[in-house]
Amino acid sequence: MRSFILLLVLSALACPAFSQNAAFTASVDKNQLTTSDQLQVTFWLNGSSGGKNFRPPTFNDFLVLSGPNQSTSMQFINGSMSSSVSYGYVLQPRAEGKFTIGPATIEYDGKLLKSQPVAIQVSKGAARPNQGKQGNDAEVGKQIGDNLYLKVVIDKSKIYQGEQITVTYKIYTRVSVVNYQISKVPALTGFWSEDVEVPKQIQLTTETIAGKQYRVGILKKVALFPQRSGSLDLDPMEVECVVQVQSRKKTNDLFDQFFNDPFFGNVQNVNYKVHSDPVKINVLPLPSASVPASFHGAVGKYAMEVWLDKEKTSTNEPVTLKVKITGRGNIKLLEAPSLNVPPDIERYDPKVSDNISKGAEVLTGSRTFEYLLIPRHAGEQHIPPVEFSYFDLDKKSYSTLSGPAFTVNVAKGTQTVSSTVSGLGKEDVKMLGEDIRFIKSDQFTFRRKGTSFVSSPVFYVLALSPFFAFVGFVVLLRRREKALGDVAGLRNRKARKVAQRRLTEAKKFLDAQKKEEFYAETSRALFGYISDKLAIPPADLSLESIRRSLEGRGVKAELVERLARSLEQCEFARFAPSVGSIEMGGMYSETVDLISSMEDTIR
């Protein structure tokens, strides 16, 4: 009873007084702490009614262990009602130094209220253990021990270059995990990666390991395609968990000993880091003998369809040839088959469209190449068969698929030829000398010398304008071709527009409270922007490569860390048990600000 009364007194002292005038303030339980301590931050709104659209600050320098924890209380004084709403967070500093918790905002009676910023001093604390213990508390390590760990499960460890391997990251627990966050995503160097769809909410199953029953959940599943042969490593994944353990104080007080009984749930939350073990993959090279000329690295099992939309056309009238490749494997890396056409047919680069299924363990789907062909001369035009080769994993040998040959009957189209003829009219006089002219016997008109339109400046301007227009058109056309040829430059210039389109879609998911879709689209916006802006191929895109590239361009370390944290938070939030709209709103604002800051820094 004594502890309960003390808790009520502390709660009353911590809660700001009610007032008729609205006030929005921030408070912390301490302003000075170490890196191993936890910080409690509370935002209070006091007024006659509650607010709406609460937005927390971006806790860039802290790890959010829990929150927002919302509570509401009301009080009647002299017939008037006043209310108090609080939003609480439990944070842990990421590093030592001086930090400022920025203002939070909330709407109250049509006005936007802001809390005051709070300064925090963080000093170096005791070093954190890697896994299994927090601080020097042996009791915590004893309770957790082998009851919580992370495991990597692969479907095969010996594969061919380009063959798919499915990697599943599972968490095994026999303790109560309050929250968790992926603190380190594997770099996957040497692999092309593609996420495999998993349920939005983690579904726990039961497995028995060494006689112990564990609750098991899938955090992440990835389809990997090795891009080189040899021994490749899967780097560990690290997850920071908030674990609930029994807290037992050693005291001679009988009252305290009674409430230390586990029956009364005397527990505490501790920060606990788990990581998976590294895994080696043995990648075999593809056979170097009997490699078909039409082989461009495709590995798996495929089928091909080739068709022409029409076999009769006229000159300068386009026809479309489509090649559809269907099967299992890395569909996104399939190159367009070589298409040889007669010189009288103009061929354009193919338009590519994908239809990929990510729900199963093995990626399947199709990629369609659409070629636009324009015959320039009449007659029969023969298109030879299209060939596509791949390494068949079932047969362990190369296979070649061939489409049919086509004959296009091209008729002569209608052509309009225009020509301009200019000459002298009857009233024009040919000069034979300065003093003698031909005598004209018919009627004639007098014209002042020098006013003839043929020799006027306007005539020459109009006569030369088509030539200059043609030259200008050629210059613009070459500039356009050069700009289109510079793929990296084009992606750099359009990086922000592409990211803004993805953020627009993310905002729709935010408004609809679709957590999984929101964080997936936000992650694609960030990764896609960095890939386009820094010209990093998606296969090589990782946190480490992003850090190196940004640091090489002179980007401030603070901005790099903000970007890394945002990417990690996006990955964690997709698998978090529950993420509120407040965190989603904060992530959206932070992503918009990040892209704007990167755009001002990277040119």
Reading the block at residue 13, the tokens are 């002292």
| Cα separation, 555 vs 559, whole angstroms | 7
Is residue 171 classed as helix, strand or coil in its secondary structure?
Answer: strand
Domains annotated on the chain, with CATH: 12-123 (2.60.40), 138-284 (2.60.40), 295-411 (2.60.40.740), 487-601 (1.20.120)
Q: What is the average pLDDT score of the chain? A: 78
Structure confidence at residue 599 (pLDDT): 80
In 333-405, which ranges are E strands? 345-347, 351-357, 364-375, 379-383, 387-392, 397-402
Segment 566-576 shows an average pLDDT of 71
Reading the block at residue 290, the tokens are 């009997």
CA contacts within 13 A on the Cβ side of 551 = 10
Neighbours of 292 (CB within 10 A): 14
At residue 1 the predicted structure's pLDDT band, cuts being 50, 70 and 90, is very low
Range with the poorest average pLDDT among 70-79, 163-172, 343-352: 70-79
Structure confidence at residue 36 (pLDDT): 78
DSSP category for residue 256: H
| Bridge partners (DSSP) listed for residue 158 | 282
Structure confidence at residue 163 (pLDDT): 93
Pair 576, 179: CB distance under 8 Å: yes
Segment 106-115 shows an average pLDDT of 86
Segment 523-549 shows an average pLDDT of 79
Write out pLDDT tens, residues 500-524: 888 888 888 888 888 888 888 888 8
| Cα separation, 190 vs 233, whole angstroms | 9
At residue 581 the predicted structure's pLDDT band, cuts being 50, 70 and 90, is low
Q: What is the pTM of this model?
A: 0.46
Structure confidence at residue 430 (pLDDT): 45
| Cα separation, 60 vs 594, whole angstroms | 12
Structure confidence at residue 386 (pLDDT): 94
Q: Specify which of 404-408, 411-415, 535-539 reaches the highest per-range mean pLDDT.
A: 404-408
Matching residue, tokens 């790890």: 63
Structure confidence at residue 546 (pLDDT): 82
Reading the block at residue 394, the tokens are 């079932």
Structure confidence at residue 452 (pLDDT): 61
Pair 284, 158: CB distance under 8 Å: yes
| Bridge partners (DSSP) listed for residue 264 | none
| Cα separation, 405 vs 383, whole angstroms | 6
- For 592, the enclosing helix (H) or strand (E) is helix 581-601
Instruction: From 134, 125, 170, select the one nearest 272 (Cα to Cα).
Output: 134
DSSP category for residue 550: H
| Cα separation, 309 vs 117, whole angstroms | 66
Segment 301-320 shows an average pLDDT of 92
301: pLDDT strictly greater than 60:
yes
128: pLDDT strictly greater than 60:
no
Q: Specify which of 11-20, 185-194, 327-336, 528-537 reaches the highest per-range mean pLDDT.
A: 327-336
6: pLDDT strictly greater than 70:
no
> Which comes out higher in pLDDT, residue 255 or 302?
302
Reading the block at residue 390, the tokens are 């791949």
CA distance readout (Å), 528 to 79, 117, 599:
58, 33, 14
> Which comes out higher in pLDDT, residue 330 or 30?
330
Structure confidence at residue 247 (pLDDT): 67
> Which comes out higher in pLDDT, residue 105 or 110?
105
At residue 264 the predicted structure's pLDDT band, cuts being 50, 70 and 90, is very low
Structure confidence at residue 248 (pLDDT): 58
Structure confidence at residue 566 (pLDDT): 83
- For 2, the enclosing helix (H) or strand (E) is helix 2-14
Segment 538-558 shows an average pLDDT of 78
At residue 95 the predicted structure's pLDDT band, cuts being 50, 70 and 90, is confident
- What would the DSSP string read from start to end of 472-521? HHHHHHHHHHHHHH-HHHHHHHHHHHHHHHHHHHHHHHHHTT-HHHHHHH
Angle at 568 between CA 567 and CA 569, to 5 degrees: 90
Pair 352, 368: CB distance under 8 Å: yes
Q: Which residues lie below 8 Å from residue 36, measured CB to CB, with a gap of 6+?
A: 125, 126, 128, 135
At residue 421 the predicted structure's pLDDT band, cuts being 50, 70 and 90, is very low
Pair 321, 349: CB distance under 8 Å: no
**Pure H helices in 365-514:** 457-485, 487-511
